[in-house]
Chain A
Amino acid sequence: MALVQRALERRGLPTVSVSVARDVTSACLAPRAVFVPFMMGHHFGVPGSATLQRAIVRAALEFIAEAKLSGEIRDLPYTWNEARRGAYG
Chain B
Amino acid sequence: MSVDHLHAARAAGDDAAFLRYARLHLGDGNETAGRAEIDKAYVAAIKVLLDVPPTDYARVRATVAECDTATLAHLFLYTHLELVRRTSAWIHDGNL
Contacts and interface: CB of A to CB of B under 8 A. Distances in A.
Physical interaction between A and B: yes
Interface string A36-53: 000011000000000000
Interface residues on A, range: under 10
| SS class, residues of chain B in contact with chain A | loop
Interface residues on B, range: under 10
A39 to B, nearest CB: 10
A40 B96 CA distance: 10
Contacts of B54: none
Contacts of A41: 94
Contacts of B96: 40
Interface of A: 40-41
Interface of B: 94, 96
